Structure 1
């Protein structure tokens, strides 16, 4: 069996900030801060800090009122600035999950700062652990201290790999989180599978690892179309996790521990549609009371935790789920999930016009799949919706409303083709060189090829002016 022990010295330089250097933040701010969106070269990604703050506050307020934990995923934005908003300035608990070692390494300076302030830091590497990632992760684990960095497993061989990690390179027992598959068939094993039992047996005899939690991602919740459907998915997630945890603990014998000081096993469930759906439980309805009672009951034996990633910025995919109503039932003036809650837009430029090309007028933008991504949204046949900007509000294509406006109707690598949907008489005239802001289908993918976000703030005077630049982390 290979050994994954490593010495600290040769690895101290093999970190993402050096392997994948970022551009100068100071130079970027000198270049962009103070400029109007209209004067920025396209393509670019624009973040509205006001919308992001509102979405983050709503999530944190919700989990606090429900008495459950929350773990923010950082993969969508890959920035320290937005991570801080996800966690909350006053929070004493910093619980995160990341998709790359690079994200964790780039967060390390801030995480160490949090520890010096007495905050509880816990971060998960969000894929089943691979041997090649262990040396770099071990450096982070040593820096943060025992128990602060957790790893995912969904096969007994993962436990065998971790048992070979040298204790001098990764001190203490390594917290592991078992991935449970509740129907998405991405990572994870089902609650009653032989593979889960084999993992439990391996863990029960392991001297280097211990069970910290059970984790699931219900990716097929993106197919829901109402708060009711989203909440049913949330309940399926939680019940599946509970079933997996009970079966697992029976094998390991951990369920027999009755000590008052014993740490509860965490059940972490999420995907933005199901995580945001629990915001509906703050309404005083019979259905909400039943779901809250279910959460409260499971929370007595386990520590229930939600996780989500794209919720700070939202996108067309999230809008299509209708995991929350557009407005609050108790306060119709309060938006919950509408176009005004989409905090990320892609700046594009019209490159050419084709008014007589076919049945629909078309226009070309210099932004294809490498800018907008290729993930579809179930609510409409396009790859992005052109917002009414530079108007603050105005007519635009709404999949559940007018269905009239410009959308990104076709896409290739560098080229995007806008198509006009609806009556020609209502068509918004475009000009070559005109800048447009597009709501992308999937914010995570639409952001991936950009090195930084340009940040505006609609809560402040002059919402068109760039106020900050957030540099995105690169690499793996």
Structure 2
């Protein structure tokens, strides 16, 4: 087996990290640090699985946001459920491989996808994983006929026939090909000619759904995504359907759709929302011919970008005390430390934190002009900047590599006083990017009697 990410970019020592951090109060954790609230993650993961079950569709967890075994386990749920995953790097797959082998030994169904169209340099590592997991457990994405030629040329490296997932473009224009295109037809003809692959599903990512601003818009995007995916599948199967008939084990083609706004919007169909019946009927109808599947990644922790989509209401119509998409549903915060104060050097009071773009990302958010929002912590409740509310509080107004500049927004007479050396918790704009330069998460549990203490450390994989 060729070198893996685990050997080229090893993770930290888990036992040493737990000895260092578990039991520590957040105020004593060195900053910057990535803090996950497992109570929020458990709740968000449960809601997604419950919605998929209620709609009689399956769910595939994307692990690119967190890259941990621990959160992956929460995403797929209890041991009676299949383990359906998608990953963006080979390293992520290798990182969770030991856990996947444990799940397989327990009799759980394993189905993991490598989330980019196949490139030749990934074949040695991916085929090694496939041999360990067994035939049918690792699926590959294609959107060009040359990718199938690479698989055919390396067929002796794979354990049996390789499950193929065709990527359909429904308007985001990242990866994938649209229905009706010559390239999609070329992929179908190449699959018909291939001897060592079989069609498992079609897949799309509607990343432009981040532009939505209400549950109604999110559901409309979801319906367009699913219809576009169905059109692509029907177009593809006009050519490749005969190929599937050669496979005695052929089942329904899977239609895998999702970005977190559209995937979470399905949860709205469990509420008493106007028009919910129309969308439920659409999903049920398509599910008769295909196997509809949802996929999403950032939903366990959410972030400011997701909050800005308003893909779910703030609270449940069935239970007004139940939060659906509010600040209390954000499960990732970045611990930062105030390094200096500049209260009179410009039109707004400012402060410096020792954390910049490599700890917080430089991702924009459509709801406000900043790179993160300072939470009320250590207060459990209290005022903070809300783009759709008070618009008063500290935000990360400017950012450099290791420097973040906090700016006070709103009336100066209401300013929250800061001190040099003070620890703050910041809600990032984009959780996937904010986490990228951290090797582990410090985990707290706000459902516990000591919500300010670290209860665990979760290792993130590194590399590609």
Asked whether the two chains share a fold, i.e. TM above 0.5, the reply is yes
Match of 1:449 in 2: 437
Matches within 5 A, 1:195-234: 195-234=183-222
Maintained 8 Å contact 2:192/2:243: no
Per-residue CA distance 1:289-313 (angstroms, 9 max, x = gap) = 1000000000000000000000000
Matches within 5 A, 1:168-187: 169-187=157-175
**Are positions 1:237 and 2:225 aligned together?**
yes
Matches within 5 A, 1:331-342: 331-342=319-330
Cα distance in 1 for residues equivalent to 2:101 and 2:79 = 16
Maintained 8 Å contact 2:334/2:427: yes
Maintained 8 Å contact 1:354/1:361: yes
Cα distance in 2 for residues equivalent to 1:242 and 1:25 = 44
Match of 1:101 in 2: 90
Match of 1:309 in 2: 297
Maintained 8 Å contact 1:181/1:187: yes
Maintained 8 Å contact 1:386/1:397: yes
Per-residue CA distance 1:361-388 (angstroms, 9 max, x = gap) = 0000011101100110000000000000
Residue from 70, 78, 93 that aligns with 2:59: 70
Cα distance in 1 for residues equivalent to 2:306 and 2:116 = 23
Aligned residues: 464
Pair 474,220 (structure 1): closer, same or farther in 2 beyond 3 Å: same
Match of 1:321 in 2: 309
Match of 1:353 in 2: 341
Cα distance in 2 for residues equivalent to 1:438 and 1:259 = 52
Cα distance in 2 for residues equivalent to 1:259 and 1:43 = 53
Residue from 145, 149, 152 that aligns with 1:163: 152
Match of 2:130 in 1: 141
Pair 259,130 (structure 1): closer, same or farther in 2 beyond 3 Å: closer
Q: What TM-score does the superposition give when structure 1 sets the normalisation length? A: 0.96
**Are positions 1:123 and 2:140 aligned together?**
no
Maintained 8 Å contact 1:92/1:118: no
Cα distance in 2 for residues equivalent to 1:32 and 1:419 = 31
Maintained 8 Å contact 2:198/2:244: no
Q: What TM-score does the superposition give when structure 2 sets the normalisation length? A: 0.98
Match of 1:6 in 2: none
Cα distance in 2 for residues equivalent to 1:440 and 1:324 = 19
- Partner of 1:253, secondary structure, is helix
Q: Could you list the runs of 5+ residues in structure 2 that have no partner in the other structure?
A: none
Maintained 8 Å contact 1:22/1:473: yes
Maintained 8 Å contact 2:63/2:85: yes
Cα distance in 2 for residues equivalent to 1:244 and 1:471 = 38
Match of 1:3 in 2: none
Maintained 8 Å contact 2:180/2:235: yes
Task: After TM superposition, give the deviation of residue 165 of structure 1 in Å.
Answer: 1.0
Per-residue CA distance 1:199-249 (angstroms, 9 max, x = gap) = 001101100111110000000000100001111111111001100000100
Cα distance in 1 for residues equivalent to 2:371 and 2:66 = 20
- Partner of 1:353, secondary structure, is strand
Cα distance in 2 for residues equivalent to 1:91 and 1:317 = 33
Pair 227,255 (structure 1): closer, same or farther in 2 beyond 3 Å: farther
Match of 1:404 in 2: 392
